[in-house]
Structure 1
Amino acid sequence: MSEMLTQEGTQGIRCGYIAIIGRPNVGKSSLLNRILGQKISITSRRPQTTRHRILGIKTLAGIQAIYVDTPGFQDKERRLMNRYLNRAIDSTLEEVDLILFVIEAFQFTKDDEWILQRLRRCAVPIVLVLNKVDRIIDKKSLLPAIATLSKKREFAAIIPVSAWKGDNVAVLESKVAELLPEGPMAYPEDQVTDRSERFLAAELIREKLTRYLGQELPYALTVFVESLEEEKNLYRIAATIYVERPGQKAIVIGKKGEGLKRIGYEARLDMERMFGSKVYLELWVKVREGWSDNERLLHHLGYADT
């Protein structure tokens, strides 16, 4: 009897997991944020900004689309961390109902081809998303490009979008809803992500480091939130930025500490917008040699569960 009620209650409801994959810096996180209408995944122009799988959940009438933002594929896999990231992507592909393969319009590279070959064993529908079409002046030139790409494999659809401006994103969402399987919703209707406030705070700090340090940014840099305490109308957050060498520590801190102050200030403003509360943020910078190739430290810093 209860099974019958459950089936009747979910009839017509579509719910499923959608992996957003692609090479680094093609706009996967920007696309997720645009779909959700709010910032969940950090972004920057620097490749490999995203290092963790992040769920973005969008619930509408009768539809729950659970997007999984993934790190960019690491084709060199030189460090243990890179191998963890690729493992996270591969395990995601085994669990989803649909894949959005994001590339830059008119820039199907050898790295894109490498990813496409990796997708051959995937049995779920794949939608090819051509991002950054706002940069194309002659939109008619997209038609022959789409025709060429359609020969590479049988895609469920090829959809040009601009994650930055929002162009055609509604069309993409409509196609996603059409391809999702029927089934009960997996999360409460008001839930937007599966990640904790600690995780989101650490990511916002790392985003500011990525954006403001630019080319000076040490690749082997991460952020760990030591404590997060919520009081009335106030979050007290203490976080440590880990680098691998003393020289990198000096780069992060900056002259007379101005770099660290700016990063902390900008991160705090974003946290206050995200949490809807005042934030008191303390930041430290510590050296941990070889952390990105140390299994014990990677587990401690959360990379084993990316």
Structure 2
Amino acid sequence: MSPTSYLLLYPAYELQASMMNFVKTAFEDDDVLIYMVEIGEKELKDEQFFNKIQHSKVPVLLLINKIYTSSQEEVEEKLLYWKEKVPNAEVTVISALENFNVQGVFDKILELLPESPPYYPKDQLTDKPERFFINEAIREKILLHYKKEIPYSVEIETEEFFESDTMIRIRSVIMVERETQKGIIIGHKGAPLKRVGTEARKDLEKFFDKKIHLELYVKVNKNWRSDKRQLRRFGYNNE
């Protein structure tokens, strides 16, 4: 099991506990279960959790990632190992970094998804509000350009959204837990933050098909990941 999954199994703060609740519902509500391991993993971190995967009632795709770090012999060895450990899973090797076999995984997911009646009208693109997509566009750029704990200590909140016939004006706040993280997000002369804003703005202009004026601010919101009230405000389920 990957380090991230291990942290979720033994959550260190309320946000991780909330994320683990989403993981648990996957065993009951989802149509396809995707379980990712790294090529170097040799043992199970939680037998009870893994037992649920082995007895899943939905199709399981087990993805072995980071194969570029190993030899062909090691890859074949791991394929056999995981096929024995999870006989109910379809085991596939991928490299997310090098985009190897990623499209094949997407194709397999589409193949496994059952047909169902439409849940929304055909002309309804999504059930999410505009601010959700703004926040996710900004979050994506932070995940791409910052390392270590920074992307996982960040929450985005769009405070203002004004739309006219020709332009959308947006004001969003990037929340972090510590002053040191704020400094890292802003960066030298504000260049890293400007890059995030520029790239997010370009994506949002394509999405909304309008000119976007995007203002980004960074704010310290101490220990927000452990505050149940704030997590509910940000849309995380803590039940």
TM surpasses 0.5: yes
Q: By percentage of residues, which structure has more helix?
A: 2
Question: Which amino acid counterpart does residue 155 of structure 2 have in structure 1?
Answer: T
Q: Choose the corresponding residue for 1:231, options 164, 167, 171.
A: 164
Query: What is the letter of the counterpart of residue 151 of structure 1?
Result: E
Classify 1:214/1:166 alpha carbon distance in 2 versus 1 (closer, same or farther; 3 Å): closer
Decide whether the 8 Å contact of 2:83 with 2:89 is kept in 1.
Answer: no
Q: In the aligned structure 2, how far is the partner of 1:214 from the partner of 1:173? A: 26
Q: Deviations over 1:209-253 (max 9, x none)?
A: 344343483753211111223322422111112223334333333
Paired with 1:157 and 1:245, the residues of 2 have a C-alpha distance of 42
TM-score using structure 2 length: 0.78
SS at structure 2 position matched to 1:94? helix
Aligned to 1:292: 225
Specify the SS of the correspondent of 1:151: helix
Pick aligned residue for 1:97 from 27, 31, 49: 31
What residue in structure 1 maps to residue 63 of structure 2? 129
Instruction: Show the counterpart of 2:203.
Output: 270
More off after superposition, 276-285 vs 157-166: 157-166
Q: Are the equivalent residues in 2 in contact too, given 1:128–1:159 (CA < 8 A)? A: yes
Aligned to 1:244: 177
Aligned-pair identity in percent equals: 32
User: Which gives a bigger RCO, structure 1 or 2 (Cα 8 Å, sep 6+)?
Assistant: 1
Q: Which residue of 2 aligns with 1:65?
A: none
Whether 1:221 and 2:161 are equivalent positions in the alignment is no
| Match of residue 145 from structure 1 | 78
**Pairing of 1:5-24 with structure 2 (within 5 A):** 23=2
RMSD between aligned residues:
3.5
Q: Tell which deviates more after alignment, 116-125 or 183-192.
A: 183-192
SS in 2 for 1:249: helix
Q: What does residue 50 of structure 1 align with? A: none
- Conserved? CA contact 1:127–1:155, under 8 Å: no
SS of match in other structure, 1:183: coil
Offset of residue 140 of structure 1? 6.4
1:76 aligns with 2:10: yes
Question: C-alpha displacement at 1:111, in angstroms?
Answer: 6.0
Identify unmatched segments of 5+ residues in structure 1. 1-21, 25-46, 48-70
- Tell whether the 8 Å contact from 1:73 to 1:85 is kept in structure 2 after alignment: no
Gaps of 5+ in 2: none
After TM superposition, give the deviation of residue 275 of structure 1 in Å: 3.1
SS of 1:184's partner is: coil
Kindly indicate whether the alpha-carbon contact (under 8 Å) linking 2:6 and 2:45 is maintained by their aligned counterparts in 1.
no
CA distance change for structure 1 residues 305 and 144 in 2, over 3 Å: closer, same or farther? same
Moved more, 89-98 or 210-219: 210-219
- d(CA) in 2 for partners of 1:216, 1:131: 21
